[in-house]
């Protein structure tokens, strides 16, 4: 089948096949992404991040229902840890979103991090492009979790939502992990647990001390079991989007994202070409032997190898 033609016509099977191409680094991947690129740029990207167990998937499930009530077509990318055996996503967050499986306007895909320290693989970013071209009004990326390096989501989303829980001392962890800087909206989920109000107060005090941003992230308390706070969260998302549009910030954000995409692809292409010429060669083994014998150091060895290979375009 013509995957690109089918995808642009809104055929779900074509979208699924296109995502498999980018996940598996298929030889047709680059041409597919090249052809669909002119049709991208319309979807609004929302990122959900937070510690494992904070209820991100359940929260996404609830807010998608509200989005659909307003007629939005939604794509969901649930990023999970990668299985060391199959390379696939371990958790499979689609289990928590069963209510949407029969809705043709909701497309859900679980993806593994594939070793990406930032929690988002190259395939995730490519999948956003595919869903955008497919015609999704809103594309949600739910990350694997928050850590010291897992803040990639802010580079890929228009609105970033940080999900906390009142029981885990998360408000303190947000400072340690630098999460204060990436959140456009804070959500305190499971707010029926003790200390929810205390967590909100601590967050509010921290936000009062941060004078760097013109946009002050709102704090929303939610309880997914009773659907409490879901609509308020959706209204805050729309409010942030309206703010970005009014201030003219969206074009600049997306231009910066395009710049990072070019840089990432340059690094990927260069790295691939280097390893194609180096892996298993005599010069690599010789350099390794010299290092082992303390006759050279890693920097000198790497530079000597790079000086002997070509990075010319072979395509």
Indicate the CATH number of 40-247 among 3.40.1010.10, 3.30.1490.100, 3.40.50.720, 3.40.50.300: 3.40.50.300
Q: What is the pLDDT of residue 100?
A: 73
Q: What is the pLDDT of residue 9?
A: 94
- How would you list the strands of the sheet with 106-112, edge to edge? 106-112, 74-80, 138-142, 44-50, 159-164, 185-188, 219-221
Contact call for residues 123 and 29 (beta carbons, < 8 A):
no
Q: What is the pLDDT of residue 89?
A: 46
Tokens of 238: 């729309």
Q: What is the pLDDT of residue 213?
A: 74
- Which SS3 state, helix, strand or coil, does residue 50 take? strand
- Segments making up each domain of the chain, as ranges: 40-247, 258-307
Nearest CA-CA partner of 187 in 146, 152, 156: 146
- The two beta strands, 44-50 and 74-80, are unpaired
DSSP 8-state secondary structure symbol assigned to residue 37 = G
Other Cβ atoms closer than 10 A to 286 = 14
∠ Cα 166 185 69 (to 5°): 100
| Rounded-to-integer distance, Cα 117 and Cα 53, Å | 19
Q: What is the pLDDT of residue 75?
A: 96
Given a cut of 50, the residues of the chain with pLDDT beneath it are 84-90, 92-93, 115-119, 148-149
Total-model pTM: 0.86
Q: What is the pLDDT of residue 313?
A: 63
Backbone angles phi, psi at 44, to 5 degrees: -100, 130
Which H or E run contains 220? strand 219-221
Residue reference for tokens 């000086």: 307
- Which SS3 state, helix, strand or coil, does residue 297 take? coil
| Rounded-to-integer distance, Cα 83 and Cα 91, Å | 9
Q: Where are the beta strands (DSSP E) in 101-209?
A: 106-112, 138-142, 159-164, 185-188
| Rounded-to-integer distance, Cα 229 and Cα 171, Å | 19
């Amino acid at each position: 089948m013509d995957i690109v033609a089918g995808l642009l016509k809104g055929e779900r099977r074509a979208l699924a096949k296109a995502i498999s191409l980018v996940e598996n680094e298929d030889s047709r991947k680059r041409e597919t992404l090249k052809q669909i690129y002119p049709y991208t740029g319309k979807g609004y990207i929302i990122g959900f991040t937070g510690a494992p167990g904070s209820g991100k998937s359940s929260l996404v499930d609830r807010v998608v229902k509200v989005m659909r009530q307003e007629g939005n077509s939604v794509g969901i990318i649930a990023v999970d840890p990668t299985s060391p055996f199959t390379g696939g996503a371990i958790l499979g967050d689609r289990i928590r979103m069963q209510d949407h499986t029969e809705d043709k306007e909701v497309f859900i895909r679980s993806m593994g991090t594939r070793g990406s320290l930032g929690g988002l693989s190259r395939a995730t970013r490519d999948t956003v492009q595919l869903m955008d071209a497919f015609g999704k009004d809103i594309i949600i990326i739910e990350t694997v979790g928050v850590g010291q390096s897992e803040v990639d989501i802010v580079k890929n989303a228009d609105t970033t939502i940080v999900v906390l829980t009142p029981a885990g001392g998360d408000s303190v962890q947000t400072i340690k992990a630098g999460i204060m800087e990436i959140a456009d909206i804070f959500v305190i989920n499971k707010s029926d647990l003790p200390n929810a109000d205390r967590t909100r107060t601590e967050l509010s005090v921290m936000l009062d001390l941060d004078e760097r941003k013109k946009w002050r992230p709102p704090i929303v308390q939610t309880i997914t079991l009773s659907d409490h706070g879901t609509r308020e969260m959706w209204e805050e998302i729309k409010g942030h989007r309206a703010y970005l549009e009014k201030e003219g910030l969206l074009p600049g954000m997306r231009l910066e994202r395009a710049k990072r995409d070019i840089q990432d692809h340059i690094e990927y292409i260069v790295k691939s070409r280097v390893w194609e010429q180096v892996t298993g060669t005599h010069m690599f083994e010789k350099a390794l032997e010299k290092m082992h014998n303390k006759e050279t150091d890693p920097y000198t060895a790497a530079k000597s190898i790079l000086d002997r290979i070509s990075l010319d375009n072979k395509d």
